[in-house]
Each structure stands twice: as C-alpha cells, then as structure tokens.
Amino acid sequence: MASSSSPPPPKLPIPGRRNILITSALPYVNNVPHLGNIIGCVLSADVFARYCRLRGYNAIYICGTDEYGTATETKAMEEKCTPKEICDKYHAIHNEVYKWFNIKFDKFGRTSSPEQTEVCHAIFHKLMENNWLTENTMQQLYCDTCQKFLADRLVEGTCPNKVCNASARGDQCETCSTLLNPTELIDPKCKVCKNTPRIRDTDHLFLELPLLRDKLVNYINETSVAGLWSQNAIQATNAWLKEGLKPRCITRDLKWGVPVPHEKYKDKVFYVWFDAPIGYVSITASYTPEWEKWWKNPDNVELFQFMGKDNVPFHTIMFPSTLLGTGEKWTMMKTISVTEYLNYEAGKFSKSKGIGVFGNDAKDTNIPPEVWRYYLLMNRPEASDTLFTWADLQAKLNSELLNNLGNFINRVLSFVAKPAGAGYGSVVPDAPNAGAHTLTKTLAEKTSKWVEQYLDAMEKVKLKQGLKSAMGISSDGNAYLQESQFWKLYKEDPAACAIVMKTSVGLVYLLACLLEPFMPSFSDEVLRQLNLSPEENLSLSEEKGEIAKAKTPWNFVPAGHRIGKPAPLFKELKDEDVALHREKYAGSQAERSSKAAADAEANKVANQLKGTKLSDGGTKKEPKKQSGGSKSKTAEADITVAKLDIRVGLIRKAEKHPDADSLYVEEIDVGEDAPRTVVSGLVKFIPLEEMQSRKVCVLCNLKPVAMRGIKSHAMVLAASNEDHTKVELVEPPESAAVGERVTFAGYAGEPEASLSGKSKTWEKLAAELHSNGELVACYRDVPFTTSAGVCRVKTIANGEIR
C-alpha cells in the first residue's frame, strides 16, 4: 500500500464514465506570468477541472511550460546563460506562482523533454508518409558576423507600415500590430551584434494546409457546434479560413528546439508553433506511459482546451490539421474556451515590457489567493476585453466577498456557536417540517434555480456566470436571515428559528461546494469551520444525490452535528492599501526596479547623515524638504474631467476598416479646419447606417494611435452594460453646436460625486481611452448625459492625454 506522501497513480479513462481531458495553453517559459496570462489559460482551466472533479467526472488537467524557440534563445542571451538554464529557472518560477494560486494540475510538465522529441518525431514521420509535407525555398536574413540565419525575433528594425514607422521586431510590430516577415523591416539589424544582415536563400519544410482544408473544415463545422465553441474562437477560425489557407513553414534555423529527423534538415529544429501543441501529448506521456488511452481514444474521451484569443488559430487550424494529417485516430478538441485580453489600469499587461501585476507581485501584496482568484474570475474577459483596476479589486473584495459572502457565513456559524440560551452551543439544531415553513420553502425554490443555472453555465464553460449564480445564493441567504429576523425567533418561535438556522447552515455547506472550483482555500476553511472533511464531504455528484439536496438545503448538514470554531473569512482592503499598491505597481518592472534602487540609495544617504551635525556657516537655514517619494501631494492629486477635451462632433462619413472586421473608420467634424480620422470598434454593436451624419461625443486630446494601419486621432465615447451585449453611443443634446466642449457627470443624481473609488465609471473610462483604440466601456446601460457637474478621475499616466 502506497504511503500518504506518495503521489496518486495516474488516472486512465474508465469505460462507462465521463472521461474529460483538460489542457490550457502552455505558458511560455521566458518570463514570469502576469494576471492576464493566469486568467487566460491556467486559472480558467483549473476552475473547470475542479468542477469536473466535484461532479464525479474522471478528469485530468495537463499543462506545462513551452520552452523551445527564439524567445528562449533571446532571453538566454540577455541573461548570459544557456537556454536550458533559462528554462530551468523560469519553469520553477511558474510552478511556484501556480502553486500559490492553488492551481491543481494532474501534471505540470515541460516541452524540453525526451517525450516531446519522441512524439514530435512520430507525428512528423506520419505526415511525411502521407505526403502532407513539401519542401520550399525561403529568403531569410543571414548575419555574416554571427554566421547564422536570423530567426524573426533576432531581427530589429523599423516597421514598414507607412502610418507607423515605429521600431519593430521581425515577427510583429507591437505599435500597430502588423504581422511581419524579417525581410520586410526597414534598416534591419541583428539583435546580437547590431550589424546589418543580408538576404540568403534557405530550404524549409511546409505543412500543406490547403490540401488538408476539406478534412479540417468538416472537423470545424461538426465540432464547433457540438462542442459549443466560444464565439471569439469561431470568429478567429473563420477569419483564417476566409483569408485562404497557405502552406505553413514548420522548421526553423535554430539550435534550441526539437531536431528535425531528416538528413537534409538535421541542422534545423521544428517551429515552436508546430511542436508546442504537441506538448499537451508529450506532457501526458510523461504523466503516464499509457497516454494513448487519453489521446487516441476519441470515442471515450472529451478534450477541453483553454487559452487567450491570440492562440486560437494554432489550436483550431494548425494543431487539428497536424493530427488529421497523420491519418491516426486522435482525440480531437471538442470544446475551446477563449478569453479576450485583461488590461491593466492605464494600458495593457505586457510580459515583454514588464507592465502590470505579475504572479509573484500578487503574492507580495498579502491579499489572499482566493481573493485574487475571485476577482480575476468575476472579471474574466469572456466576450470582450476587461480591465483590472485596484479600485475595482477593492470594491469586489469589500462588498461582494466581505459584506455579502463572508458576512452571511459568519452570521450563521457565529449564532450557532453561541452558548445555549443565546445560540445552539455549536450543535446544528433539528428542524422537522422545514418544508412547510413558507419563507424557507421560497428560499429553497430560489436556491434550486440558482444551482440549475450554475450547472448549466459550468457545463457550457461559462465560468463567470457560474460564479455569479453561486454568489446569488449568498445574497438570497443574507436576505433570508434579515427577513426571518432569526434573533427574535430564537425566543419568540424556537421551532421556526431552528428551521432558519439549519437551512442556513445547509446553504453555507452548499456555498463551500459550489465555490470550491473558484476559491478552493476559501472552501477548505468553510468546511473546517463546519467541522467537515473536504476529502469526504466536498461533492456535487448526481450519484450521491448532492444536486437534489439543493431543493431541501436543510438536509445538507444533519441535526446534532457539532460545528467548529467560526472566524472571519475575509479582511477589508482599505483605501491607503489600494493607493500603495497602485503606486507600487505603476509603470514597468524595469521602472519599479530603478525606483527601488533610487529609494534604497536615498535611504542609504539619509542613514549616513543621521547623527551628523552640520554647520550652517552663518547662512540662513534652508527650509526642510518633504520626506518620502519624489512625488508631492500636489502631483498625486486627482485631476478633474475638465482636463479631458471632450467635444461635440458630427460624423461626416463612416465606413468599415479595410483590414479589420470589427472596426469603423469615421471622418468626424469637431469644429476644426478639417475633420479628424477616428477608428472605433463598434461594428458588431451599431449598424453602419446608424453611424452616418449623427452627433457624438469625441475625446480629442488623445495621443494618435495606429489601428490596423490607419491612425486614429480621437475617440468616440460609448457606454455598455456589464456583459457588453448592449452598446450605445454617448450622444450630446441635439441643440449642442459642433465643436462645443462637453462636461459629464458620472451618475444621474450625483453631479458632484468624486468617482475615483468607483472603478467602472470615469476612472475606467480614463484608463481605457487609449488602451485599445476601440470603444470605451463604462458598464452602464444608460449613456452619460451632459451636466454642469464635474466628476473626478485619477491622473492619467503615460502621457496619453495631451
């Protein structure tokens, strides 16, 4: 018999059971993951995997670090070590971050493994045998100084896009998002030696995607419907098919990667996007030698994959084509769950630029992992980009977790724990005929509906909706306690009070179960306070009748059960803490590091001066300088919305962007000599005919930004509801003159309100104005209207407001 410390034996598919294989996009190993990476793949997959385990499904969750490719070689050069050393270092960092976030993998592996080479070679040989690979000659930049061909990220130059001309890498311009080949760059330079490379011919192997198109389209058409693919996944896939599939190069002139098992190409490796998805298979092979029972068993295994939107084509086009080309019976992806981007305060999260809150930063804040998980999942960008702000994190923690969920559980358990005469001496009371109690019967009906909605959402991988449904039970529980006035019932109607408290204890248990996928450490603590073992009691299994009990929540915890010691579950996040976190994590990691070094040097000098008596030499003493950081109180003060140059504009002409399906290009008169060109992401919300010849509100003092090759010189203001299903343009009064300045209030009835603590109003507007060049989401159905009042917003960083 295995010892308690031994890992459990690998799970294998079980005939007659629902067998679910779950993967999340393999995080790239060359940096610390930020919150956007975490919610986009590993955390979302973890929630679904935990849900599957709760339901009694036979599920495994496979992930690991993606370790091959140019980015690793580049990072190794920066840190003056080998690619292997980089991978070892960052694999350990990733592992530590995910462990702190309570991500529960069945296997967290890595792609630089013998199994990866073995599986890649086997798939490659099958593709060769079936004639899906062809040879072709490419022109590539070659550095005579370094004596090697340069992969795309090893070339830097100027973007060839005429409206951009920013510095760019050889694979993509980060300023205008144009995809590039290194040979297209203006004045290209080798990243290593800074010399100018020359163009040389080089032979490569290509996967013939056009020849595989019919097989691929049949798979997509059938599976996208049966597997309920998320809409953004379908749109991204169809966009690739619409453009026409082209042969895809699967080899690279690199050293760090899976070697190509072909005599002519023995000095090359596989392109990272050919071998990275194969990592799911190879990591499973490192989990169990019987991996084919998971990956070559399509009749008995369902494959669910989680990722950010930028990874979609590689999982719906490239990887399926690769597997189909082998002619073998692979377990193909059934369901894909795709997130949009999580943006950060005044811009986008960026690993390369070090902008945002990273996994190790979250740990350093002393905010518990269950709070981070809750916030990220409640803010999960399922249908559109969402925004992380410190004020919103504070609001969700203090109002939803502390005042709603934590308050309900603590009120219930604290009352039960009170000594006899004031409570129940920590023993759950009996409650005969609970179903006949009108208020309790109504609550049970509501609870049953919430559980139905929860299960429906989770089965469809609508994680945010699942979480909201669970939290609805907590809100109803609080209302139930208030309406029952249990503190009066305890003396006036003891039988009714016992029903209310036994039912409420049942809701506490139910919440621990429903929320376990989202906040596992929270659920563990709740069960500890209930004096119930998580291993024995945590279940939402149909077979055990747990779902049916939601109709009679008073039956979850038996009468006579002794609970543990209640304690507060959440701690308030105060304004001063939020201010400290916002300042600490402003700017990039490099800027933070420089500031920390400067502060350390200043402290060192200050300490040296302590106790040293200085003579003023008979001159007038200088006034004391303020201690602390470099920013003064004045510099940190809020600015008013008056700093935003918002004017009445008239759309003279609007048409669809030639290179982007979701964007309009408008010519807008804002009272200047010539109309301004503005790009807006409103196509799927507002018909083109409704964009013509109408007055709008336009933010004019924005730094211009190129959107898919067209520079936008302002921003049209719009408002949306929370799930972005409804969007309206913010319209000025009909009588307003073109070019007239406009001032807004945040809420009707609050014209003078300071909204710096209400993150989804003007603070969110200020943060999003320049972050994506698209619509401004204010999270309100009703558009803001003109008002004499002035709302306040935090200082806008990065010089975006001019």
Check pLDDT > 90 for residue 583.
Answer: no
CATH number, domain containing residue 789: 2.40.50.140
294-297: long-range contacts (C-beta < 8 A, 24 or more apart)? 294/12, 294/13, 294/19, 294/21, 294/60, 294/331, 295/21, 295/330, 295/331, 296/328, 296/329, 296/330, 296/331, 297/13, 297/19, 297/331
What pLDDT score was predicted for residue 784?
36
Q: Is residue 66 part of a domain?
A: yes
Residue type, 729: L
Domain boundary among 509, 537, 560: 560
334 and 452 share a domain?
no
549 and 677 share a domain?
no
669 and 770 share a domain?
yes
CA–CA gap between residue 746 and residue 755 (Å, rounded): 7
Check pLDDT > 60 for residue 541.
Answer: yes
CA–CA gap between residue 653 and residue 670 (Å, rounded): 13
333 by DSSP, 3-state: which? strand
Residue 304 phi, psi dihedral angles, 5° rounding: -115, 130
CATH number, domain containing residue 412: 1.10.730.10
Q: What is the dihedral of CA 68, 74, 76, 78, to 10 degrees?
A: -160
CA–CA gap between residue 91 and residue 65 (Å, rounded): 6
Q: Is residue 435 part of a domain?
A: yes
Residue corresponding to tokens 């905010």: 367
435 and 555 share a domain?
yes
Confidence class of residue 660 from pLDDT cuts 50, 70 and 90?
A: confident
Q: Is residue 186 part of a domain?
A: no
679 and 548 share a domain?
no
Q: How far is CA 4 from the centre of its chain?
A: 35
Give pLDDT tens digits for 464-504. 999 999 999 999 999 999 999 999 999 999 999 999 999 99
Q: What angle do CA 619, 620, 625 make, to 5 degrees?
A: 125
Q: Is residue 171 part of a domain?
A: no
pLDDT, average across residues 114-127: 98
Check pLDDT > 70 for residue 595.
Answer: no
Closest by Cα among 284, 382, 222, 289 to 19? 284
- What is the domain extent for residue 21? 17-128+211-243+272-338
What pLDDT score was predicted for residue 344?
84
Closest by Cα among 187, 205, 206 to 196? 187
Confidence class of residue 797 from pLDDT cuts 50, 70 and 90?
A: very low
Domain boundary among 530, 560, 590: 560
Q: Is residue 370 part of a domain?
A: no
What pLDDT score was predicted for residue 755?
31
Check pLDDT > 60 for residue 361.
Answer: yes
Q: Are strands 664-669 and 727-729 parallel, antiparallel or unpaired?
A: unpaired
Q: Which of 36-45, 191-200, 719-728 has the lowest mean pLDDT?
A: 719-728
706 by DSSP, 3-state: which? strand
Q: Which of 67-76, 161-170, 259-268, 604-613 has the lowest mean pLDDT?
A: 604-613
300 and 423 share a domain?
no
334 and 411 share a domain?
no
334 and 223 share a domain?
yes
Closest by Cα among 277, 256, 132, 254 to 202? 254
Check pLDDT > 80 for residue 219.
Answer: yes
Q: Which residues of 182-207 are buried (b: 16+ CB within 10 A; e: fewer)?
A: bbbbeebbbbeeeeebeeeebebbbb
CA–CA gap between residue 461 and residue 452 (Å, rounded): 14
- The average confidence (pLDDT) of the chain is 83
What pLDDT score was predicted for residue 353?
56
Q: Is residue 154 part of a domain?
A: no
Q: Which of 70-79, 452-461, 480-489 has the lowest mean pLDDT?
A: 70-79
Q: Under the phi-then-psi rule, with left for phi > 0, alpha for psi from -120 to 50, and beta for the rest, what region is 12?
A: beta
318 and 407 share a domain?
no
Q: Is residue 682 part of a domain?
A: yes
How many domains is the chain partitioned into structurally? 3
pTM: 0.73
Domain boundary among 502, 534, 560: 560
Bigger pLDDT: 714 vs 127? 127
Residue type, 273: W
23-32, 103-112, 636-645, 753-762 — most confident range: 103-112
228 and 90 share a domain?
yes
CATH number, domain containing residue 56: 3.40.50.620
Q: What angle do CA 740, 746, 749 make, to 5 degrees?
A: 105
317 and 450 share a domain?
no
Confidence class of residue 725 from pLDDT cuts 50, 70 and 90?
A: low
Q: Is residue 565 part of a domain?
A: no
Check pLDDT > 60 for residue 764.
Answer: no
CA–CA gap between residue 342 and residue 464 (Å, rounded): 14
Check pLDDT > 80 for residue 347.
Answer: no
Check pLDDT > 50 for residue 267.
Answer: yes
673 and 748 share a domain?
yes
Q: Which residues of 513-529 are buried (b: 16+ CB within 10 A; e: fewer)?
A: bbbbbbbbebbbbbbbb
Check pLDDT > 60 for residue 745.
Answer: no
- With pLDDT > 70 as the criterion, what percentage of the chain qualifies? 82
CA–CA gap between residue 344 and residue 596 (Å, rounded): 21
